[in-house]
């Protein structure tokens, strides 16, 4: 499947502004994250982010730049706005538009439902021949314009700011499930056998034993060696290796005998 993502506004047009956010900036953030989330699931392309698709439409350059017929689906990302509102604990929500020529809306219905599950009101699927998606539909490509939430509603943007990654994941999974796509197979964790584990453990023990002891214990080690409390293989004491209960018992017994004999 070939997918084209379009970030609304930009190229000097900030789009809607509210609550410290600018639409053109946020649409590009969402498109970049969405392209990354869908990478490997389908062939994802983005409309040049240094351009404005609507301005290109008015200039007669949109179809040449977008080449809509190359794609199976076009998704244009926007943020909605009506008028500035105060925090009232209610979200205005998410909605999505398709053209009047679009035969089905299953993917779009799933998309707004998934976004709404993050905490936004579901305003549903609506039909309007917005210029950019209408040009895609005329080229024979299914298209939709997604209004993620209302940028001028404080409640909407509080949820967006806190759960942006969840919203992107909701959009991505709606596309993956709706078009029957598959995520790239993740590397399966290899099962370690007992023999492999034992080999790693032995290697670790050998690496530890090969390390030189710390200087702070020099006097204690000299006393222990001179009095037979510790003994190694030859002159190799392996001070940094692990000690078994047997070895601890032997060292305690040797120290006890040393003290008794000196009395």
Q: Which CATH number do you get for residue 120?
A: 3.40.630.40
- If we measure between CA atoms, which residue out of 121, 176, 128 comes closest to residue 153? 121
Q: Give buried/exposed letters for 24-60 (b at 16+ CB in 10 A, else e).
A: bebbbebbebbbebbeebbebbebebebbbbebbeee
pLDDT number for residue 212: 84
Tens digits of residue pLDDT in 108-163: 999 999 999 999 999 999 999 999 999 999 999 999 999 999 999 999 999 999 99
Q: What is the CA radius of gyration of the chain?
A: 33
Average pLDDT over residues 98-108: 97
Assigned domain for 189 exists: no
State the CB neighbour count (10 A cutoff) for residue 237.
Answer: 16
Assigned domain for 243 exists: yes
- pTM of the prediction? 0.70
- Cα 126 from Cα 104, distance rounded (Å): 12
- Cα 164 from Cα 188, distance rounded (Å): 28
54 and 170 both lie in a single domain: yes
How many domains does the chain divide into? 2
Dihedral angle computed from the Cα positions of residues 145, 148, 150 and 152, in that order, rounded to the nearest 10 degrees: -100
Assigned domain for 184 exists: no
Torsion-angle region of 93 (φ positive above 0: left; ψ -120 to 50: alpha; else: beta): left
79 and 201 both lie in a single domain: no
Q: Where in the sequence is the domain holding 130, given as residue range(s)? A: 2-178
Is the pLDDT at 203 greater than 90, yes or no?
Answer: no
Assigned domain for 185 exists: no
- Cα 159 from Cα 93, distance rounded (Å): 10
Assigned domain for 123 exists: yes
Rounded percentage of the chain residues whose pLDDT exceeds 90: 65
Is the pLDDT at 190 greater than 70, yes or no?
Answer: no
24 and 73 both lie in a single domain: yes
141 and 253 both lie in a single domain: no
């Amino acid at each position: 499947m070939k997918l084209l993502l379009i970030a609304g506004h930009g190229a000097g047009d900030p789009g809607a502004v509210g609550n410290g956010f600018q639409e053109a900036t946020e649409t590009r953030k969402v498109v970049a994250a969405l392209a990354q989330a869908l990478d490997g699931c389908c062939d994802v392309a983005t409309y040049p982010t240094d351009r404005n698709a609507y301005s290109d439409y008015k200039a007669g350059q949109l179809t040449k730049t977008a080449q809509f017929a190359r794609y199976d689906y076009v998704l244009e990302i926007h943020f909605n706005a009506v008028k500035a509102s105060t925090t009232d604990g209610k979200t205005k929500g998410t909605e999505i538009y398709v053209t009047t020529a679009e035969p089905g809306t299953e993917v779009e219905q799933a998309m707004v439902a998934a976004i709404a599950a993050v905490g936004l009101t579901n305003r549903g699927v609506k039909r309007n021949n917005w210029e950019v998606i209408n040009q895609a539909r005329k080229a024979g490509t299914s298209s939709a314009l997604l209004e993620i939430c209302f940028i001028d509603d404080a409640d909407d943007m509080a949820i967006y700011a806190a759960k942006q990654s969840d919203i992107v994941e909701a959009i991505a999974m709606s596309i993956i499930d709706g078009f029957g796509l598959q995520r790239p197979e993740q590397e399966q964790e290899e099962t370690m056998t007992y023999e492999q584990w034992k080999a790693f453990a032995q290697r670790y023990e050998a690496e530890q034993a090969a390390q030189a002891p710390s200087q702070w214990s020099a006097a204690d080690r000299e006393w222990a060696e001179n009095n037979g409390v510790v003994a190694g293989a030859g002159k190799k004491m392996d001070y940094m290796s692990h000690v078994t209960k047997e070895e601890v018992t032997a060292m305690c017994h040797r120290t006890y005998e040393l003290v008794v004999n000196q009395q």
